[in-house]
Amino acid sequence: MDERQAKYLKEVERIHKGGPEKYHQKLKEENKLFVRERLRLLFDEGSILEEGTFSNCLDPELPEDANIVGMAKINGRPVCFSAADFTVKAGSWGAKAVQKILFLQEKALAMKLPIIYLIDSAGARITDQKVVFPGRNHGGKVFYNQVKLSGIIPQITILFGASPAGAAYVPAFSDLVIMVEGKASAFLGSPRMVEAVIGEKVSLEELGGARMHCTVSGLGDVLAKDDTQAIEICKNYFAYFPQCYLVKPAAAVPEEPGQGRSISEIIPPNQNQPFDMKELIERIVDKGSFLEYKALFAQELITGWARIKGEVIGIIANQPKIKGGTLFVDSSDKGARFIWLCNAYNIPLVFLADIPGYMVGSQVERAGIIRHGAKMISAVSEATVPKLTLIVRKCYGAGLYAMAGPAFGTDSVLALPSALIAVMGPEAAVKAVYSNKIAELEGEARLAFVNKKKEEYADNINIYDLASELIVDQIISFEGIRDQLSYRLEAYRGKERVWPKKNNPIHPV
């Protein structure tokens, strides 16, 4: 072998080994994969094309400056990637690492390719902060670019380990965040710093662990049990995204829904009886196609992607079995973000409404329920993709607005025979209107009066009366939901997307 070639191969082998053996051993002890093993599992065999492999090659302690970037393919689809190598300085960002990320983001923008960030990092390298942190082309530019890329190309983050301080904003600006339970974390200040600054003693898991972020803060979207599952989740979800905002997600081979109870059996006649909306979803969409978004966060609202006859859709559905499907602050934020995400990437929206409205009371008012509720209504209003709403049972108050009622540019508002639409439900309405009269009555007389008024109110909001006034576009059968949605989605596929030109909307925050 030519001496020059031999030297080159030896250098590549050294760089690909990453950092010292003791850090590889630490990964094994923690049941984590080496970065190159993660890349091998995520991408098609032989598809990885690295950039900047020889960055910092003159420093034997900093192969690749702890960050591998390049292009690869997932099931034949080209993507860009940035992957931290924990075995080199705990995956921290040095000057070359930041420059490579910036280069990668510029390439992704020019070629309209999705970016996948694989994070297991100690954040910015403190010893190098003058060349990493403050300047025009330093760490802050990474986040600037993420915002600039937002809505143009999908950005997915897999958190295998830590993402502290400023680096915590990488997942915050991503479209989808997958976190490995017990391993991943994100925080602005470490437990040690928190104790020193505010005197609070808190564990890393409590402060910024994966489960906390997926259930409480909402930073995490999907929780994985280990590195391998996180990679598989990424590949599954990626299939529902397009390459960029200029195209639509690829269709798949259509499949019939899974077997189960009939839809009329799933939906109880009693408006106040809980049922599992996910069971209804599974009877509508292609078998096994539903992938939930933020499944552990604000569970009174279900959001996720699925397919109907092979075509990708986004689903927003109230969950009657959790808090009655009522919208709270967090669920409003969750709905708004999902709607913006689908609208950015040309994914039609299907709303399944069974909602008593927004939550009321001093606690939620202090938490900003009006502002946060308005955020979801803003997202519904701005969405120009095809929008279909199905009133499953009740749809009361501003819940009708949040769930894309007739006034919000919705292409079709459909209703089942079980549907009711009103400012409020019969119980609340009768109490509000007849409170003085009810107070005057006692015993059987009071009960008879209340029941009579509830019946009169229910007759007044009868779905057939509303259909006769064109409040809803069509009443459909229980078993006809899938076909109705499919036909209409196909008809609206060529919808012209129009929204007034402006610098930017002023969103409620």
Residue 124 has what pLDDT? 87
H-helix or E-strand spanning residue 134: none
Contact yes or no for 93/124 (Cβ under 8 A): yes
Tokens of 341: 């995400």
Among residues 78, 92, 146, 148, the alpha carbon closest in space to that of 120 is found at: 92
Domains of the chain from N-terminus onward? 3-239 (3.90.226.10), 263-423+462-492 (3.90.226.10), 426-460 (no CATH)
Query: Which residues sit opposite 395 in a β-bridge?
Result: 355, 421
Q: How far apart are CA 207 and CA 190, in angstroms?
A: 8
Instruction: Please tell me the number of Cα atoms within 13 Å of 447 on its side-chain side.
Output: 2
Contact yes or no for 159/210 (Cβ under 8 A): yes
Write the DSSP string, 381-447.
Answer: HH--S-EEEEEEEEEETTHHHHTT-TTTT-SEEEE-TT-EEESS-HHHHHHHHSHHHHHH--HHHHH
Q: 3-state class of 11 per DSSP?
A: helix
DSSP 8-class letter at 52: -
Write the DSSP string, 191-204.
Answer: HHHHHHHH-----H
Q: Could you tell me the CA-to-CA distances from 354 to 229, 263, 336 in Å, in that order?
A: 33, 14, 18
Among residues 221, 186, 188, the alpha carbon closest in space to that of 205 is found at: 186
Contact yes or no for 363/325 (Cβ under 8 A): no
Tokens of 462: 């009868």
Contact yes or no for 73/49 (Cβ under 8 A): no
Q: 3-state class of 173 per DSSP?
A: coil
Among residues 124, 133, 50, 132, the alpha carbon closest in space to that of 92 is found at: 124
Digit-by-digit pLDDT tens for the chain (509 residues) are 788 999 999 999 999 999 999 999 999 999 999 999 999 999 999 999 999 999 987 788 899 999 999 999 999 999 999 999 999 999 999 999 999 999 999 999 999 999 999 999 988 898 888 888 999 999 999 999 999 999 999 999 999 999 888 788 999 999 999 999 999 999 998 889 898 999 999 999 999 999 999 999 999 999 999 999 999 999 999 999 999 999 999 999 999 999 999 999 999 998 889 999 999 999 999 999 999 999 999 999 999 999 999 999 999 999 999 999 999 999 999 999 999 999 999 999 999 999 999 999 999 999 999 999 999 999 999 999 999 999 999 999 999 999 999 999 999 999 999 999 999 888 888 888 888 888 888 888 888 888 888 888 877 888 998 999 999 999 999 999 999 999 999 999 999 999 999 999 999 98
Residue 24 has what pLDDT? 96
Write the DSSP string, 486-506.
Answer: HHHHHHTTT--------S---
Query: Which residues sit opposite 422 in a β-bridge?
Result: 396
Tokens of 392: 């499953």
Q: Which residues contact 54 (CB under 8 A, 6 or more apart)?
A: 11, 15
Residue 461 has what pLDDT? 83
H-helix or E-strand spanning residue 255: none
Q: How far apart are CA 286 and CA 295, in angstroms?
A: 19
The burial of 224, by beta-carbon neighbours within 10 Å (0-12 exposed, 13-18 middle, 19 or more buried), is given as buried
- The angle, 0 to 180 degrees and rounded to 10, between the axes of the packed helices 426-433 and 443-460 is 120
- The angle, 0 to 180 degrees and rounded to 10, between the axes of the packed helices 35-42 and 227-238 is 30
Instruction: Please tell me the number of Cα atoms within 13 Å of 130 on its side-chain side.
Output: 0
